[in-house]
Amino acid sequence: MLDHLKLKRVGIFLGGVLFGTAGIKVLSGKRAKKVYTKGMAAALRAKDEVVKTATTVQEHTEDIIYEAKLINEERARREAAKAAAEASYAQGNSETDKNTEQAAYAEEMNKTEEPNE
């Protein structure tokens, strides 16, 4: 029984060596190289497309961030103008000054409003 088990293990080992040798021969053949080359070419094309798409997404993201910063800056200017008008009103300026400031504020608001798309 023990000899039979040893022979089986030796047979499996030799079968693996034979299969491995045949596999190396097949994998290093001309046909296999053509398949590898075509596969690598397809992978490189896919990589180029991914890089191109990533670049486009990055550019759009930069545009969005820039426009968002502009919107926030404009909002801050409007809030500062409103706060100044309210502070001036609280200090008790004459009615004419109040009307002038309110008109200037309203004009500023009309200039900065953008139409919704």
| In-domain check, residue 6 | no
pLDDT at 105: 72
| In-domain check, residue 7 | no
Mean pLDDT of each 10-residue bin along the chain, 117 residues long: 75 83 76 88 95 94 95 93 81 59 70 54
pLDDT at 75: 94
Question: What pTM, to 2 d.p., does this model score?
Answer: 0.43
pLDDT at 29: 80
Distance CA 27, CA 37 (A): 13
| In-domain check, residue 78 | yes
Domains identified in the chain, total number: 1
The range of the structural domain enclosing residue 85 comes to: 16-112
Among candidates 1, 4, 2, 27, which has minimal Cα distance to 12? 4
pLDDT at 96: 52
Residues 6+ apart with CB under 8 A from 109: 78
pLDDT at 42: 95
